[in-house]
Amino acid sequence: MVSATMHQTAMDTGVNEPRITSNPKHYQEKLLKTSSVLSVLSILLTFALFARIEIVARYTETMDSKFTQQIQQMQKALDKTAILQDRQRGEADTVWGR
């Protein structure tokens, strides 16, 4: 009974039921547009991510080849040094009679 009295009091004071000012079709259109924009945005971000991954991969390959080249140069220098040391030892052995 209390709820019936409260409802009756609300009606007596002139408070109307809340109304939806826009129709559901308007919300559906907004939802469709928002969904489309988000889909396109996600596709663009996917392509951007793929492009970034490819750029990083190329950069990594370039750095890898540079490091490989430097390692080969160091190996050649070490080989030359080892050969020179072997020759010097061989000459020292002949001088000292070993």
Q: Is residue 58 a part of any domain in this protein?
A: yes
Q: Is residue 4 a part of any domain in this protein?
A: no
Q: Is residue 12 a part of any domain in this protein?
A: no
- Stated pTM of the model: 0.48
What was the pLDDT predicted at 89?
A: 81
User: How many domains are there within the chain?
Assistant: 1
> Quick check: 62 pLDDT over 50?
yes
pLDDT tens figures, 66-98: 999 999 999 999 999 989 888 888 776 665 655
Distance CA 64, CA 58 (A): 10
Q: What's the average model confidence in pLDDT over 15-40?
A: 81
What six digits make up the tokens of 40? 């396109």
Q: Is residue 85 a part of any domain in this protein?
A: yes
Domain that holds residue 33: 24-96
Q: What's the average model confidence in pLDDT over 30-52?
A: 97
Q: Is residue 73 a part of any domain in this protein?
A: yes
What was the pLDDT predicted at 8?
A: 56
Q: Is residue 19 a part of any domain in this protein?
A: no
The DSSP symbol for 14 reads T
